[in-house]
Structures are given as C-alpha cells and as structure tokens.
C-alpha cells in the first residue's frame, strides 16, 4: 500500500524526443504535471497521450524561476511529496519505493544521487547530490537561471540525504544556452552578494570568450565574504587560468592553477588542468609531475565541480606523451594501454601506440 501521494512536475519546451523515456521513468509517481512554455514540436500531444497533465503558458520575459514556480503551482495542494525533474532526466527503476521507505512524516526535502554526466557505457563521470524532492508547501524557486529551490520557513529544514535514489542526466547538447548570459547578468543585478550567481556569471563570460570580463567577475566571486566553498573557489581560479591562457599570459595562468591546487589539494581537477597547460607548453617534466600528483587522488569527490577530463583517459594520455618525449618508451606504452582501456576505439590513441611501438622496435634493431 502506498504511504504518500507522490507527484512529478516539470517544465518543457520542444522535448518530444524525450517524452516516452521520461514518462516511462516518472510513471512510478501518482500523477505527472508539466508546464509547457511554448513547444513548436509534438511535445504537448505526446505528453497528453501518455496521461500527463499539461498546461501551456508563454512566459515573457523568460525566467527559469518563474516557470518552475508556475509548474509547482500545478501540483495539487494535497500532494505529500513533489518531485521536480527535467525531461532529459531518468530515474533508476524502483525510485518510488525507495522514496517512500526513506521519507518520514516530518521530512522537508531529500538530497539524492545525480549523474550529471555519463560516458558511453553509462558509467558516471560527474556525480553529485541534488535536492529537488520536497514537500508541497514552504518552497519557492529563486533566481532567473541556475534556479534553486528555496526553503521559506524559519524553522530548520529537515533534509535527508540518500544514495538509494539515482537520477541520470542525458542532455540534448544541440540546445542553445544563449539565454543564460543575460539571465545571469540579471541574477547578479538582483543580488550582487550571491557568490553562486557571481561564479556562474564569470564562467558564462568564459564560455562566451569574454576573457577580461570573466577574469574580473571570477575575482569578484573570490572576494565575496560568502564565497567559502573551496571546490567552487578552486573552479573560479581554474577558469581565471583558462582565460589567461587564451590571452597568452601563461605565467598568470600557472599562478592561478597553483592557487587552485592550494585551495583544493584533494581534487584532481587543478592538477590535470595545470598538466594540460604544461602539455601545451611542451614542458614534459611538469606534465609528468602533475599527472602523477593527480593519480595520488583516488577518491572521486561527489561535486558538480568535477571536470570530465579528470576521470577519463586524459591523465594516462598525457603521461604516455610525457614519457614518450622523455624517451621512456616502456612507460609510454604502459600509459597508452591504460588510456586505451577507457577509450579502446580512439584512433588517435591507437595511432600513438603504433608510434611508441615503432620507437621501441628501432631501439631493438640498433
């Protein structure tokens, strides 16, 4: 017998290719509600044909928090548990039973596993907790973009963290994110002391190749009194370094990457990022050194800050190159084989292996 009334809610725009997969996953809930914000494809018809409650609303000016709040308003007030997802996300089966076993009568919100990025074998690359399962009342979405679910009551929020529920993300990489920059600028205008918004804005300037603006904004992030989360501070330092690289100011880039290492010596990301810089500069001794420092970190931290290159074949690829140019062909072969375990069909890696073997054969022949 079901203990609670569980409702899934979402926003949608032109997601027809995801509808069936998403509904199949979300159907463990009692009902599903979707706010469609102007689809021009067959999303609405497909959702309705699958029994989803759909309301269409054109939101101008566009804000993600406004859309999320409107979608939440669709949820019946007698719902016990609200589950917010996007149509490019899929729960692992059995999530409803796990949720009901975990949820207590005084629970406000649950944090659960989120695989933001998975490789071609469905192995998580970037994994962290998200917190979008909550009670019907006492919550509101805030911020025009990169919106967050904000708890409204004065009392302490009763939050449970679990690994029993996992949501996987399979994004549509063709979708434009052009609206993000003006919305992030608006976010910072609305709250210039919000460290999270400032970090995201600096990162967005970097994505738009606005190197000087990105540097200035990320330095502002680091200067904010509330910017205390070391993982995010380290990421700002790494992004500053990326901008300086684009400006061909390599000494500043090295300085900021070393600051990032000092900030988060427990994360692989800054070690790999500085190794990539030294690779660009063909400084093979430093490539070798920082890759080996990265390999000392064997625990994959549960944080959205993780870069995919920190846990794929990159570290072994770089080491094979460093060893090759240092004429240590045995080690180069060892590391290229490690890299190929991650990407067995990678043509460049396979070609590099041939080159290494040719050099080894030359030595034998001599």
Q: How far is CA 28 from CA 90, 98, 148, in A?
A: 12, 11, 25
Q: Which helix (H) or strand (E) holds 189?
A: helix 180-190
Q: What is the pLDDT of residues 146-161, one digit of tens each?
A: 999 999 988 899 999 9
User: Which class for 92: exposed (0-12), middle (13-18), buried (19 or more C-beta within 10 A)?
Assistant: middle
| Cα–Cα distance, 326 to 272 (Å, whole number) | 19
pLDDT in the model for residue 199: 97
pLDDT in the model for residue 366: 67
| Cα–Cα distance, 309 to 40 (Å, whole number) | 36
Q: Which helix (H) or strand (E) holds 19?
A: helix 19-26
**What band does 78 get if pLDDT is binned at 50, 70 and 90?**
very high
Sign for the CA dihedral angle at 53, 58, 59, 63 comes to positive
**The CA-based dihedral angle spanning residues 146, 166, 161, 235, taken in that order and rounded to the nearest 10 degrees:** -40
For 171, other C-beta atoms within 10 Å of its C-beta total 12
Residue 34: name the closest of 170, 4, 22 by CA: 22
- Domains of the chain: residue spans and CATH: 6-169 (3.90.550.10), 312-366 (no CATH)
On whether the CB atoms of residues 12 and 36 are closer than 8 A, the answer is yes
The contacts of residue 182 (CB under 8 Å, 6+ apart) are none
pLDDT in the model for residue 209: 97
Q: What is the pLDDT of residues 39-55, one digit of tens each?
A: 999 999 999 999 999 99
pLDDT mean over 211-239: 97
| Cα–Cα distance, 231 to 158 (Å, whole number) | 25
Q: What is the edge-to-edge ordering of all strands in the sheet holding 124-134?
A: 53-56, 31-36, 6-12, 81-84, 124-134, 109-118, 159-169, 89-91
Residue 215: name the closest of 225, 200, 205 by CA: 205
pLDDT mean over 216-241: 97
On whether the CB atoms of residues 6 and 29 are closer than 8 A, the answer is yes
Residue 44 has φ and ψ, to the nearest 5°, of -60, -50
pLDDT in the model for residue 151: 96
pLDDT in the model for residue 345: 92
For 361, other C-beta atoms within 10 Å of its C-beta total 11
Percent of the chain at pLDDT > 70 equals 99
pLDDT in the model for residue 243: 98
pLDDT in the model for residue 4: 95
| Cα–Cα distance, 73 to 62 (Å, whole number) | 17
């Amino acid at each position: 017998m079901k203990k609670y009334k569980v409702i899934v809610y979402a926003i949608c725009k032109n997601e027809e290719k995801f509808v069936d997969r998403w509904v199949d996953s979300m159907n463990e809930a009692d009902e599903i509600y979707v706010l469609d914000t102007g689809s021009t494809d067959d999303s609405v018809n497909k959702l309705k044909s699958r029994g989803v409650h759909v309301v269409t609303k054109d939101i101008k000016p566009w804000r993600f928090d406004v859309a999320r709040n409107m979608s939440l308003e669709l949820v019946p007030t007698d719902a016990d548990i609200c589950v917010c997802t996007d149509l490019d996300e899929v729960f692992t089966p059995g999530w409803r039973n796990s949720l009901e076993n975990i949820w207590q009568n005084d629970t406000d919100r649950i944090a659960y596993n989120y695989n933001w990025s998975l490789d071609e074998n469905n192995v998580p690359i970037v994994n962290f907790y998200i917190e979008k399962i909550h009670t019907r009342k006492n919550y509101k979405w805030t911020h025009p973009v990169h919106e967050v679910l904000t708890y409204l009551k004065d009392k302490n929020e009763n939050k449970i963290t679990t690994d029993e529920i996992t949501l996987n993300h399979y994004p549509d990489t063709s979708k434009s994110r052009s609206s993000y920059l003006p919305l992030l600028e608006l976010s910072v205008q609305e709250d210039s002391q919000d460290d999270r918004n400032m970090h995201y804005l600096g990162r967005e300037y970097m994505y738009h190749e606005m190197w000087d603006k990105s540097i200035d904004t990320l330095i502002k992030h680091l200067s904010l009194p509330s910017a205390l989360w070391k993982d995010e501070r380290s990421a700002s330092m790494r992004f500053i370094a990326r901008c300086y690289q684009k400006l061909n100011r390599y000494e500043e880039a090295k300085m900021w990457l070393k600051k990032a290492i000092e900030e988060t010596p427990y994360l692989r990301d800054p070690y790999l990022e500085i190794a990539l810089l030294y690779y660009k500069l063909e400084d093979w001794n430093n490539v070798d050194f920082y890759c080996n420092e990265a390999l000392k970190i064997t625990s994959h931290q549960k944080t959205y800050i993780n870069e995919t290159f920190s846990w794929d074949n990159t570290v072994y690829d770089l080491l094979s190159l460093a060893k090759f140019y240092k004429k240590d062909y045995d080690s180069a072969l060892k590391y290229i084989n490690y890299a190929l375990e991650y990407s067995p069909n990678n043509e460049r890696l396979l070609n590099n292996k041939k080159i290494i073997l040719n050099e080894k054969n030359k030595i034998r022949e001599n």
